[in-house]
């Protein structure tokens, strides 16, 4: 499972490897309301990520690492907050986390460590055999993280299963999902997950099966 962290919008993408290739199991964007207090937004993000991990049970979480430089230090601080609650959700559910630099993912997907967002989107579409361009860019980044992480674990770059990843984006309760027919869809659970009311930290859960999707 790849996660492109952000306080306003966090992209996620879950890939599943099979004997004949890789399919997109789930993908979308978790968004928070800018007018809410920081603690409420972080709680909403934590609950949404926690719920998606519970549903999809990935064997590995691949998170975009912080940039080495930020023009705006506040951006790095807010990104750090978002990454922290994502790491917490993974820890609570026993999922290992790997951080990859954006340049490494871009290089793996496009051959260019300085590729732009549009180039990454097209590369993800090609590598995963998607019939539509993955939008918004947060989703493409998350799928690229998942694909790169999977190649690290397996030693092979993912190849797509033709015809099993068609679909289009739509909006629901702060989470934009793709594809709509994805199994065990997280849209309904995320409706309650993005509600800031309620505790962020719950009781511990058993570790997940490491052989399940990345």
The two most distant CA atoms of the chain are separated, in Å, by: 46
CB 174 within 8 A of CB 168: no
**Catalytic-labelled residue, pool 26, 64, 65, 141:** 64
**Catalytic-labelled residue, pool 4, 16, 26, 65:** 4
Phi-psi region of 163 (alpha: psi -120 to 50; beta: other; left: phi over 0): left
**Catalytic-labelled residue, pool 16, 26, 65, 138:** 138
Asked if 138 is an active-site residue, the reply is: yes
Question: In sequence order, which ranges of 28-131 are alpha helices (DSSP H)?
Answer: 38-56, 73-92, 102-110, 117-128
User: Which residue carries 């934590």 as its tokens?
Assistant: 46
Check residue 160 and report its DSSP letter: B
Nearest Cα to 94, choosing from 127, 59, 45, 119?
59
3-state secondary structure of 16: strand
Catalytic residues, by residue number, are 4, 64, 138
């Amino acid at each position: 499972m790849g996660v492109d962290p952000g306080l306003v919008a966090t992209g996620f993408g879950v890939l599943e490897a099979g004997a004949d290739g890789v399919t997109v199991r789930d993908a979308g964007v978790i968004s928070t309301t800018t007018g809410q207090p920081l603690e409420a937004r972080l709680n909403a993000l934590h609950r949404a990520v926690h719920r998606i991990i519970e549903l999809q049970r990935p064997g590995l979480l691949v998170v975009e690492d912080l940039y080495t430089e930020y023009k705006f230090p506040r951006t790095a601080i807010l990104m750090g907050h978002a990454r922290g609650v994502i790491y917490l959700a993974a820890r609570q559910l026993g999922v290992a986390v790997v951080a990859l630099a954006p340049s490494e993912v871009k290089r793996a997907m496009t051959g260019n460590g300085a590729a732009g967002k549009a180039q990454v989107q097209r590369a993800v579409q090609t590598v995963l055999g998607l019939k539509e361009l993955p939008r918004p860019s947060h989703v493409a980044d998350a799928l690229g993280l998942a694909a790169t992480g999977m190649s690290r674990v397996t030693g092979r770059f993912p190849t797509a299963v033709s015809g099993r990843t068609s679909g289009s984006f739509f909006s629901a309760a702060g989470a934009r999902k793709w594809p709509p027919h994805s199994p065990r869809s997280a849209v309904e659970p995320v409706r309650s997950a993005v509600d800031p009311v309620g505790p962020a930290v719950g009781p511990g859960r058993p570790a997940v099966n490491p052989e399940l999707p990345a």
